[in-house]
């Protein structure tokens, strides 16, 4: 496998907590820009306000997540453009979400789904270990069992565990040589909410862990983002340059909220 050319500059984007539709629209705007060649490869760290359940792209609505509980608790609901299973994003106090938008060329020719998972996973692993977490990367996962309703119910290939329990869950969407990968890093967990929101998952806490458990204290969002930033730079020879969204990206994200991510049609998803 080839590695990323040393010295390449990416954009580092750290955004304020916003609602689920806006978060997903931002990432699609970044992905479209990279595919068109008008935006650089981007590593983004973000959080959610209000706390939100994100469904995987092809996941049925209303079967795996208690929609009534979402309404009662003030929990948002959005469908991601990436695959995988549902995740509860409990704000910056308990969770950091990352996204990577890049092309195979940006990764030095690393093109396949599992190859890109591994490339990103190496940096995640280095960053989490630098915080003191005894994290391990799972090798290629086997098994033909159905995809679980809850993302943290099973560890996939090149995802991150501590003591055999899942710490980071990720999902990806590919368009040609360009991809968008999302991932959730658990800083802590709201146990009561998880049990209520995922009624078809026997025990959503049985297979997950958090940095709070691994470290003996809950790290701050900004400290985890800083550790992961350094790890991407050192592991892959990148220079991450802090920047914001362009005016065109902001405008496109706004249109995508109204026309796609905040609509009932998008949330309902595939029949």
Q: Is 70 a catalytic residue?
A: no
Cα dihedral 12, 249, 117, 270 in deg (nearest 10): 150
Contact yes or no for 3/236 (Cβ under 8 A): yes
Structural tokens at position 261? 């991510």
Catalytic, out of 29, 104, 151, 253: 151
**Residue 26 burial by CB count (10 A; 0-12/13-18/19+): exposed, middle or buried?**
buried
Report the alpha-carbon distance of residue 268 to residue 270 in Å, rounded.
7
Catalytic residue list: 151
């Amino acid at each position: 496998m080839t590695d990323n050319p040393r010295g390449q500059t990416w954009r580092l984007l750290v955004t304020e907590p916003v609602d689920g539709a806006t978060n997903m629209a931002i990432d699609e705007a970044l992905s479209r820009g990279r595919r068109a060649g008008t935006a650089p490869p981007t590593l983004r760290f973000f959080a959610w306000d209000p706390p939100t359940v994100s469904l995987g792209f092809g996941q049925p609505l209303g079967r795996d997540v208690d929609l009534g509980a979402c309404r009662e608790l003030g929990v948002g609901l959005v469908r991601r453009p990436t695959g995988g299973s549902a995740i509860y994003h409990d704000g910056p106090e308990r969770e950091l979400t990352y996204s990577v938008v890049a092309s195979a060329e940006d990764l030095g020719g690393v093109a396949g789904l599992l190859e890109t998972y591994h490339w990103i996973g190496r940096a995640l692993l280095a960053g989490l270990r630098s915080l003191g977490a005894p994290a391990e990367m799972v090798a290629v996962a086997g098994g033909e069992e159905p995809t679980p309703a809850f993302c943290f119910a099973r560890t996939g290939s090149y995802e991150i565990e501590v003591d055999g329990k899942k710490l980071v869950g990720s999902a990806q969407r590919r368009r040609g040589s360009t991809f968008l990968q999302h991932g959730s890093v658990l800083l802590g967990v709201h146990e009561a909410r998880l049990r209520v929101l995922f009624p078809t998952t026997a025990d959503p806490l049985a297979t997950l862990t958090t940095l709070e458990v691994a470290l003996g204290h809950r790290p701050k969002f900004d400290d985890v983002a800083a550790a992961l930033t350094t790890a991407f730079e050192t592991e892959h020879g990148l220079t991450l340059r802090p920047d914001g969204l362009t005016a065109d990206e902001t405008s496109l994200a706004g249109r995508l909220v109204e026309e796609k991510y905040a609509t009932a049609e998008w949330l309902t998803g595939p029949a």
